[in-house]
Structure 1
Amino acid sequence: MSTPDENGTTPAEPLWPAGSATGIGSLPGTDIAEAVKFTLGELPDLPYLPELPGRGPGADMIGRSAGLLVELPVEIYAGRWRVAASPGRELRRAYDLRERDLDQLTEQAEGFTGTLKVQSAGPWTLAANIELALGEALVSDHGATRDLAASLAEGLKTHVADVRRRVPGAKVLLQLDEPSLPAVLAGRVRTASTLHTYRSVAPSTVRDTLTSVVEAAGVPVIVHCCAPDAPLSLLRDAGASALALDLELVGTGAEKLDAIGELIDAGVGLFAGVARTTPPASGRQPDAGALADRVKRLWRDLGFPYELLAQRVVMTPSCGLAGATPAYAQAVLKACREAGRRLVEQ
Structure 2
Amino acid sequence: MTDQAWPWPAGAATGIGSLPGTDVAEAQRVVLGELPALPHLPELPARGPGADLVGRTGGLLAELPVELYAGRWRVAPRPGRDLRRARDLMERDLDQLAEQAEEYAGPVKVQAAGPFTLAASVELPIGGRMLRDPGAVRDLTGSLAEGLRSHVAAVARRLPRASVLLQLDEPSLPTVLAGRVPTESGLGAYRAVEPETARALLRTVVEAVGVPAVVHCCAPDVPLELIRSAGAVGVALDLTLLSDFDPLGEAVDAGLGLLAGAAPTRPSPAGRAPTSAEVADRVRQVWDRLGFPRRRLAEQVVVTPACGLAGATPEYARAVLAACRDAGRRLHED
In the alignment, which residue of structure 2 is the partner of 1:7? Answer: none
Q: Which residue of 1 aligns with 2:170?
A: 178
Shift of 1:225: 0.3
Task: Indicate the residue corresponding to 2:161 in structure 1.
Answer: 169
Cα distance in structure 2, aligned partners of 1:116 and 1:54: 23
C-alpha distance in 2, partners of 1:279/1:297? Answer: 21
Partners of 2:329 and 2:50 lie apart in 1 by 36
For structure 1, which segment, 274-283 or 163-172, has the greater mean C-alpha deviation from structure 2 after superposition?
274-283
Q: CA deviation at 1:166?
A: 0.7
Specify the SS of the correspondent of 1:315.
Answer: strand
Aligned-residue offset at 1:87: 2.1
Contact 1:223 1:235 in 2 (8 A): yes
* 1:214-268 superposed Cα distances (whole Å, 9 cap, x missing partner): 00010000100011111111111111100001000123xxxx2221111111111
Could you tell me how far apart the structure 2 residues matched to 1:321 and 1:206 are? Answer: 28
1:301 aligns with 2:293: no
Q: Which runs of 4+ in 1 moved over 3 A?
A: none
1:75–1:88 Cα contact (<8 Å) kept:
yes
Q: Counterpart of 1:121?
A: 113
Structure 1 distance, partners of 2:38, 2:89, is 23
1:197 corresponding residue in structure 2? 189
Quick one: which amino acid aligns to residue 247 of structure 2?
A
CA contact (8 A) 1:157 1:217 kept: yes
Query: Quick one: distance in 2 between partners of 1:91 and 1:324?
Result: 28
What is the CA deviation profile of residues 25-84 of structure 1, one whole-angstrom value per residue up to 9, with x for unaligned ones? 000000111111111111000000100000000000000000010000011111111111
Map Cα deviations across residues 269-298 of structure 1 (whole Å, 9 max, x no partner).
Answer: 100001111112221221110111111122
Determine the structure 1 residue equivalent to 2:60.
68
Mapped pair 1:313 → 2:301: yes
Question: 2:101 maps to which residue?
Answer: 109
> Which residue in the other structure is 1:330 paired with?
318
Amino acid of the structure 2 residue aligned with 1:78: A
- TM-score, normalised via structure 2 length: 0.98
Aligned twin of 1:224: 216
- Tell me the residue number matched to 2:271: 283
Letter in 2 for 1:303: G
Separation in structure 2 between the aligned mates of residue 124 and residue 14 of structure 1, nearest angstrom? 26
Asked whether the equivalents of residues 28 and 322 of structure 1 are also in contact (C-alpha less than 8 Å), the reply is yes
Question: Number of residues paired by the alignment?
Answer: 332
Q: Distance in 1 between matches of 2:285 and 2:90?
A: 40
Name the aligned partner's letter for residue 246 of structure 2: D
Please report how far the alpha carbon of residue 22 of structure 1 lies from its aligned counterpart in structure 2 after TM superposition: 0.3
1:227-246 equivalence runs, <5 A: 227-246=219-238
Q: Does the 8 Å CA contact 1:227/1:250 hold for their aligned counterparts?
A: no
Q: Percent identity?
A: 64
1:108-129 deviation digits (Å, cap 9, x = unpaired): 1111101100000000000000
Query: 1-side partners of 2:279 and 2:238: how far apart?
Result: 13
- 1:14 Cα deviation from its structure 2 partner: 2.8
- Write the mapping of 1:142-157 to structure 2, written as runs, cut at 5 A: 142-157=134-149
- 1:158 to 2:172 alignment: no
Whole-Å Cα distance in 2 between the matches of residues 87 and 137 of structure 1? Answer: 19
- Preserved contact between residue 222 and residue 241 of structure 1 (Cα < 8 Å): yes
The alignment status of 1:16 with 2:3, answered yes or no, reads no
The within-5 A match list for 1:68-107 is: 68-107=60-99
- Gaps in structure 2 of 5+ consecutive residues: none
SS at match of 1:129: coil
SS of 2:120's equivalent? Answer: helix
- Matched to 2:251, the amino acid is L
Whether 1:340 aligns to 2:328 is yes
Shift of 1:88: 3.1
Paired amino acid for 2:273: Q
Give the TM-score normalised by the residue count of structure 1: 0.94
Deviation at 1:13, TM superposition (A): 2.9
Task: Give structure 1 stretches of 5+ with no counterpart.
Answer: 1-10
Shift in Å at residue 305 of structure 1? 1.5
